[in-house]
Amino acid sequence: MHTANRSRHDVVVVGARVAGSATAMLLARLGHDVAVVDQASFPSDTVSTHSIARSGVVQLHRWGLLDEVLDSGAPAIRQVTFNAGGESVRRTIKHKAGVDLVVAPRRYVLDTILATAAQRAGAQVRPGVTVTGVRRDGRGRVVGVDGHDGAGAPVELGARWVVGADGLRSRVARSVGAAINELGPAGGAAQYAYYAGVPWDGIEFFVAARSFAGVFPTHDGQACIWVCTPAADAGAVRRGAGSRVEAFGELLERSAPKLAERLRQARRTSPVLGVLRQPNQLRQAFGPGWALVGDAGYYRDAVTAYGISDAFRDAELLAVALDQALRADAEEAAALARYERQRDQALREVFEITCRLSAYPPVPTFVELQKQLGGAIDEEAAALAARPVPGERRLATA
Ligand SMILES: Cc1cc2nc3c(=O)[nH]c(=O)nc-3n(C[C@H](O)[C@H](O)[C@H](O)COP(=O)(O)OP(=O)(O)OC[C@H]3O[C@@H](n4cnc5c(N)ncnc54)[C@H](O)[C@@H]3O)c2cc1C
């Protein structure tokens, strides 16, 4: 039976943001029947700042979406200024791996561009559908999902593969009992707000004792101003302050007094958002009939601002593995095991750097780790740029 609320697909993806829509888009470009559902509707925001590292920009470029992101009004960022220990170093972003800029589009813009690209590629995108659990066959293999639409009507989607791209608190991961294979040290807090009314000159970073703050210029002349600290520090400041806004101002004053001074001339255009505590963790990536991608499978503290790039890399690794499994080009367990192995190898260096950064070591060590992070990102960008683009030929002839 194939009705709006009951249908069958090669792949059902749960979660339609950076991980889910990218996976669905690539699978649809590879010729598969894909449905991607999300309890949210688009455009809508999510709690996240949104600087995309060079490796993530390389993915947007390879997938033919970078121009759309820039055309949305997200400014091309070509300067990065790093402030630490009283010194300020300003660099121009070099032309490497095919890109000479980074970008920080608002998530309601980026996620909508990706969901629309998935739809354009032929995926069925279904906003307003909440998944409540997975369906299994008699042998325990996952063969679909159950849920309901916005009106509360039941939804039943059958699939050869179910992909959980439903974020840190993934319902799919819980339903299949995905194990946490690695639990790093607990991460910290990341808080942010948007400001307008003053000029921004590229990305800025400010390192101070037990804090990391910065500026990500975004749409409409606004910038995302953020501050990352240990969870205990954010909690203590919040308890002593009259409001979240006051606590944010106090943290910024401690972390980046020169930035706090400049912001006195600016206008805050949003409430203060963020998270007070984050894990560093790696989940099992697949099992019979299911796989996880994005934050559902791997979460790291936002201090490295790398989750979007992780999601884009792993979406492609997973789409390639599922394509092989669906076409029976490879035995499915071997294809998915390769996905898990490639994901775990690819994320390793940045994961370890993130775990160390989120413990807020002394400033010189923090700065050294940031340099290592830059090297790891450039290496990953070069490796991604050298890969064939999944579904490119089909896209070119469409
Ligand atoms: C404060 C903060 C700042 C950050 N800053 C950056 C940054 O600057 N750069 C960067 O690269 N990364 C950053 N990150 C990380 C980044 O936000 C995440 O890694 C990224 O959003 C992961 O994308 P995802 O698609 O895996 O999951 P999500 O973005 O969490 O999307 C999951 C989707 O699944 C849907 N969903 C969940 N459950 C269900 C269900 N049961 N049924 C249907 N749908 C469901 C949700 O509605 C949601 O739309 C930051 C994170 C935080 C918290």
How far apart are the CA of 219 and the centre of ligand 1, in A? 20
How far apart are the CA of 24 and the centre of ligand 1, in A? 16
Question: What pLDDT sits at residue 77?
Answer: 98
Question: What pLDDT sits at residue 330?
Answer: 76
Q: Is 224 in the pocket of ligand 1 (CB under 6 A)?
A: no
**Assessment of whether the complete model's pTM goes beyond 0.85:** yes
Q: Is 174 in the pocket of ligand 1 (CB under 6 A)?
A: no
Question: What pLDDT sits at residue 1?
Answer: 45
SS (H, E, C) the chain: CCECCEEEEEEEEECCCHHHHHHHHHHHHCCCCEEEEECCCCCCCCCCCCCECHHHHHHHHHCCCHHHHHHCCCCCECEEEEEECCEEEEEECCCECCECCEECCCHHHHHHHHHHHHHHCCCEEEECCEEEEEEECCCCCEEEEEEECCCCCEEEEEEEEEEECCCCCCHHHHHHCCCEEEECCCCCEEEEEEEECCCCCCEEEEEECCEEEEEEECHHHCEEEEEEECHHHHHHHHHHCCCHHHHHHHHHHHHCHHHHHHHCCCEECCCCEEECCCCCEEECCEECCEEECHHHCEECCHHHCCHHHHHHHHHHHHHHHHHHHHCCCCCHHHHHHHHHHHHHHHHHHHHHHHHHHCCCCCHHHHHHHHHHHHHHHHHHHHHHHCCCCCCHHHHHHC
Q: Is 377 in the pocket of ligand 1 (CB under 6 A)?
A: no
Residue nearest to atom 19 of ligand 1 (CA): 307
Residue nearest to atom 44 of ligand 1 (CA): 38
Q: Is 275 in the pocket of ligand 1 (CB under 6 A)?
A: yes
Question: What pLDDT sits at residue 266?
Answer: 98
Residue nearest to atom 35 of ligand 1 (CA): 15
How far apart are the CA of 299 and the centre of ligand 1, in A? 10
Question: What pLDDT sits at residue 329?
Answer: 78
Per-residue tens of pLDDT for the chain, all 398 residues:
456 688 999 999 999 999 999 999 999 999 999 999 999 999 999 999 999 999 999 999 999 999 999 999 999 999 999 999 999 999 999 999 999 999 999 999 999 999 999 999 999 999 999 999 999 999 999 999 999 999 999 999 999 999 999 999 999 999 999 999 999 999 999 999 999 999 999 999 999 999 999 999 999 999 999 999 999 999 999 999 999 999 999 999 999 999 999 999 999 999 999 999 999 999 999 999 999 999 999 999 999 999 999 999 999 999 999 999 999 877 999 999 999 999 999 999 999 999 999 999 999 999 999 999 999 999 999 999 999 999 986 555 55
